[in-house]
Amino acid sequence: MRLTSEEKDMMGGAYGPAVERACKIVVTLGGIYGAERLVPVESVQVAGVSYRNLGEAGLSFLKDWAGDGARVRVPSTLNPAGMDMRDWRRMGIPDEFASRQQAVVEVYTSMGIQPTCTCTPYLVGNTPSYGSHVAWSESSAVSFANSVLGARTNREGGPSALAAAICGRTAEYGFHLDRNRRATHRVRVECPVRQPFEYAALGYWVGREVRNGVPYFQGLQGASSRDTLSPAERDSLKLLGAALAASGAVALYHAQGITPEARTVPGLILDDTPTITVNTLDPAIEALNAPIDILDLVVIGCPHASFEEIRNVADIVRSCQLQSALWVTTSRAVREQAEDMGWVQIIEEAGGQVVADGCVVVAPMQSTRYRTLATNSAKMAFYAQPHAGLQVRFGSLETCLEAAIRGRWSKDQEEPMP
């Protein structure tokens, strides 16, 4: 691997033990994957934040690195924690977990990482430019950065993303290279896909088929004549990419006439690229639904809810009294925006919560009273049972919120199949 003089100094300890360790991690990974050089990164998004996933061993690892003087060189943000960092008691989080979770975030903050605690960093200011190299680690954020923003990142692990933040470099392999961003599968969509939950169902089904490939969608409706996506289009693509990454390991997808590379880069898909045809979303929707009626909890915001999604929730539950618990998970910054508009108050007056910082998938849900859940996110539906021990119903935003109002999922709420 060709290293610059500065990178050689990093490897040799000239910038201290923390940078030396970070650079060695990045170079070692690059060697494994055949990288010829390192590239500077514009930003980093660090996963490995929830104490449920890290445990004491992970926390000790972070403390050791920080103790060696680790400080980030580029703008860096944090993935969700296992709880709302301010209102965790209301979630039913045990005191001991909360104490250890706070310690994790404090260590990251001491390294100069912004304690954003969100899987949608692009909604809180960490928005990489088209073509820029970044080192992001959360699967849905990686998908969004590569696909919707046109930035370049591999799906980093928590330690490798942190290493990239500390040395300001990542190895140039995988999706940092043009040749690896071409489509491996053509996906012809021949059924209506209009609502956000339908994008999520499509992503779940296609992810299972293509695994870690690069799907190229044809037939999705988008604004091919405009340079920017509407908030609704962006939110739908967010759910699509999250589901692709959850059921498969898709870190990059293209949508004809919609995503930036599909609109501007020639040769992304060849005539003989294998084709998958999607005629119906029925099998995906059926696979994501367990046969449960009584709902303990409804969760909206996986990935974290946008400003517009919180407004939509508030519009539906206004003047209602919920029979099931409702969590709308989002970033702290977006929650504060929504609070300024009065939407948080509307949701809470109905009996719901707007949970900042956290995520059900990485929260200690077994320690709470919740056992059944409804969601409009295929990622959440896919992960909720194995990661959180919850039985799940999946459907549109409106259907999920109607279930929260009734306290149950009834047969007349079943989604009409396309």
Average pLDDT over residues 159-188: 98
For residue 413, the model assigns a pLDDT of 53
Coil, strand or helix at 38? strand
Model confidence over 286-341: pLDDT tens digits?
999 999 999 999 999 999 999 999 999 999 999 999 999 999 999 999 999 999 99
What is d(CA 366, CA 150) in angstroms, rounded to the nearest whole number?
Answer: 38
Model confidence over 141-163: pLDDT tens digits?
999 999 999 999 999 999 999 99
Q: Do domains 5-178 and 288-413 have the same CATH topology?
A: yes
CATH class in words for 288-413: alpha beta
Side chain identity, residue 41: V
Distances (CA, A) of 128 to 143, 293, 306: 13, 43, 18
What is d(CA 198, CA 323) in angstroms, rounded to the nearest whole number?
Answer: 26
Model confidence over 220-253: pLDDT tens digits?
987 565 678 999 999 999 999 999 999 999 999 9
What is d(CA 4, CA 12) in angstroms, rounded to the nearest whole number?
Answer: 12
What proportion of the chain, given as a percentage, has pLDDT over 70? 97
Which CATH homologous superfamily contains domain 5-178? Aconitase, domain 3 (3.30.499.10)
What is d(CA 215, CA 249) in angstroms, rounded to the nearest whole number?
Answer: 11
Model confidence over 91-130: pLDDT tens digits?
999 999 999 999 999 999 999 999 999 999 999 999 999 9
Compute the CA torsion angle 220, 156, 40, 72 (nearest 10 deg). Answer: 120
Instruction: Give the other-Cβ count within 10 Å of 56's Cβ.
Output: 10
Q: What is the pTM of this model?
A: 0.96
- Cβ atoms of 254 and 215 closer than 8 Å: yes
Model confidence over 346-357: pLDDT tens digits?
999 999 999 999
Query: If phi over 0 gives left and psi between -120 and 50 gives alpha, with beta otherwise, what is residue 235?
Result: alpha
Model confidence over 43-85: pLDDT tens digits?
999 999 999 999 999 999 999 999 999 999 999 999 999 999 9
- Cβ atoms of 376 and 396 closer than 8 Å: yes
Write down the domain spans for the chain.
Answer: 5-178, 182-284, 288-413
For residue 387, the model assigns a pLDDT of 85
Is the pLDDT confidence value at 386 over 60? Answer: yes
Model confidence at 418, pLDDT cuts 50, 70, 90, reads: very low
Distances (CA, A) of 379 to 3, 79, 89, 339, 417: 39, 16, 26, 26, 20
